[in-house]
Amino acid sequence: MLSIGDKYVPYFYSPDDNQAIDTIPIAVGDRVSFVATTAATHNIKEAGYAEITDITSRVIVEDAKVIQVLSAPANQQESEEAGSSLLIALTVEQVLQLEMARKLGDITLVPSRLTGNTLSVKSSDIIDRLSGVRELRAGESQ
């Protein structure tokens, strides 16, 4: 196990659908980022993706160090739901950001070499002719 330093705490990450952990090899010492998919006006966990005009995916935690890869026990590996989990070194602030994003939307783990901290995608970038509605009121300047 790698040393994580004084300002970091170990964070146990187990994805809902194993995403990149099982498809892209991730090893101890690798760097990973977390991408949050959230909406500005509603909680995706409660309302789902019914309102698609304000959904954004962006990097919320970048370049976190993997300190341990935990594989499922041999007797569980035959199950479709069994997969790997990670122990990751994060600051307390990063843990709070990640937990808040998990409560409001979806989290995706991505190897850091595939992202940058400016990576951001909005639903309007994906869906043709989708634009926000702007309300104008009498007496307001544009």
Show me where the domains of the chain are located. 8-73+88-114
What is the reported pLDDT for 44?
79
Give mean pLDDT in consecutive 10-residue pieces for the chain, a chain of 142 residues: 78 73 81 88 77 82 92 59 80 94 88 73 63 57 54
pTM for the model stands at 0.72
What is the reported pLDDT for 40?
80
Residues in the chain: 142
Cα separations in angstroms, 18 against 21, 43, 83, 125, 129: 6, 22, 6, 26, 33
What is the reported pLDDT for 68?
93
What is the reported pLDDT for 81?
52
